Amino acid sequence: MRYLPAEFPLEPGIRYLNHAAVAPWPKRTAEAVQRFAFENMTRGAARYPDWMAVEQNLRERLAWLINAPCSEDIALVKNTSEGLSFVATGIDWHAGDRIIGIADDFPSNRVVWESLADRGVAFDQVDINAEADPEQALIDRITGDTRLMAVSSVHFATGLRMDLARLSAACRETNVLLCVDAIQSLGAVRFDLDTVPADFVIADGHKWMLAPEGLGLFYVNPAIRDELQLTEFGWAMRAQAGDYAPGDWRPSPLPAVSNAAAPTCSGYMRWMPACHCCRRWDSRLSSVCCRTISIICGNGCAPFPACRSSPPKPDPNGPAFSRSALPATIANESTGH
């Protein structure tokens, strides 16, 4: 505990013994934000390519944190709710489909699924508090119509930690998609896609990842990426990056620069991994916490491996978005600026 006051110089009288809400920023996070603001004030966007490199670096670190095959499987979103909404609005639901969730889960992880009722999608809410075996209670609700199970890795109010390996095994066996809201654990509890092969992992950075609000991780299983329809559009999502000419366009095949990432690419909070290394902390912190700190420090406690799978390449023969087929707002966006 001795190092904490230096890194968390809270006012006298304020003590964070734990938090399930919004963490205080570590000193280095605050310094990185200040540096980025100062750079914008004094140099504008002169180092824009470096900002893009920082963003890529961040996605590599987040991929490493959850053991994703590739940084291209990670998109940056503005919060957990946005990532959950991308899943809820992006899946091609059919009337009669069912979703399983936790009855008293955090509202973000309920309202998105409830919002699908008018499309004929039922949200089966399981009261896990009443169950001796919460995971089994969720698994028992799977039927032939279940398309997705949505759970929080740790319950925001009770602190119940789900056995995600068990849930993911059951979902794989029954061909049900697994969507994990990992905000209450990521950074404090190890998450490994090898042992928990979830289809979606989403977490804002402002809890155990010790970041400010407004920047989160969104992982999509590459095997089902194409099943997720684009529901948000922006200039940076086109495969023809840098080509602002009007006309037909193809979305990038990467979630990192399509769908959710379009707004993030347009440029806020690239400061996150910009501070200096904290390798000296290694001996004092758990390896998971060390990983987390390394994310916000920009220099890892271990080298970051290259992608385990090749990032997808744009398909030149794939379907193009035709201007005439697009709603007016999208057509206007595609004219570039």
Ligand X SMILES: Cc1ncc(COP(=O)(O)O)c(C=O)c1O
Using CB under 6 A, list all residues that contact ligand X.
21, 79-81, 106, 108-109, 152, 156, 181, 183-184, 204, 216
Helix and strand numbers (H, E) in the chain are 10, 7
Looking at the Cβ atoms of 153 and 252, the one nearer to ligand X is 153
Nearest distance from residue 128's CB to ligand X, in Å? 14
Q: Which of 255, 248, 252, 242 is nearest to 202 (CA)?
A: 255
Q: Are strands 146-152 and 98-102 parallel, antiparallel or unpaired?
A: parallel
Nearest distance from residue 50's CB to ligand X, in Å? 27
Which residues, including other chains, have CB under 8 Å from residue 268's CB and lie 6 or more apart? Answer: 214
Looking at the Cβ atoms of 185 and 252, the one nearer to ligand X is 185
Looking at the Cβ atoms of 187 and 300, the one nearer to ligand X is 187
Nearest distance from residue 179's CB to ligand X, in Å? 12
At residue 198, φ and ψ (nearest 5 deg) are -75, 160
Looking at the Cβ atoms of 123 and 249, the one nearer to ligand X is 123
Q: What does the alpha-carbon distance between residue 232 and residue 89 come to, in Å, rounded to a whole number? A: 10
Q: Residue 24 is encoded by which pair of tokens?
A: 């205080």
Looking at the Cβ atoms of 79 and 221, the one nearer to ligand X is 79
Nearest distance from residue 83's CB to ligand X, in Å? 8
Nearest distance from residue 89's CB to ligand X, in Å? 15
Looking at the Cβ atoms of 6 and 21, the one nearer to ligand X is 21
Nearest distance from residue 159's CB to ligand X, in Å? 11
CA distances from 68 to 77, 164, 179, 204, 244 (A): 17, 16, 15, 17, 32
Looking at the Cβ atoms of 21 and 245, the one nearer to ligand X is 21
Q: Residue 311 is encoded by which pair of tokens?
A: 């990032």
The string of DSSP codes covering 293-321 is HHHHHSS-SSPPPPPSSPPPPP-TTSPPB
260: DSSP letter: T
Looking at the Cβ atoms of 70 and 209, the one nearer to ligand X is 209
Nearest distance from residue 250's CB to ligand X, in Å? 30
- CB-CB contact of 257 with 277 (8 Å): no
Q: Which of 21, 26, 281, 299 is nearest to 34 (CA)?
A: 26
Nearest distance from residue 270's CB to ligand X, in Å? 19
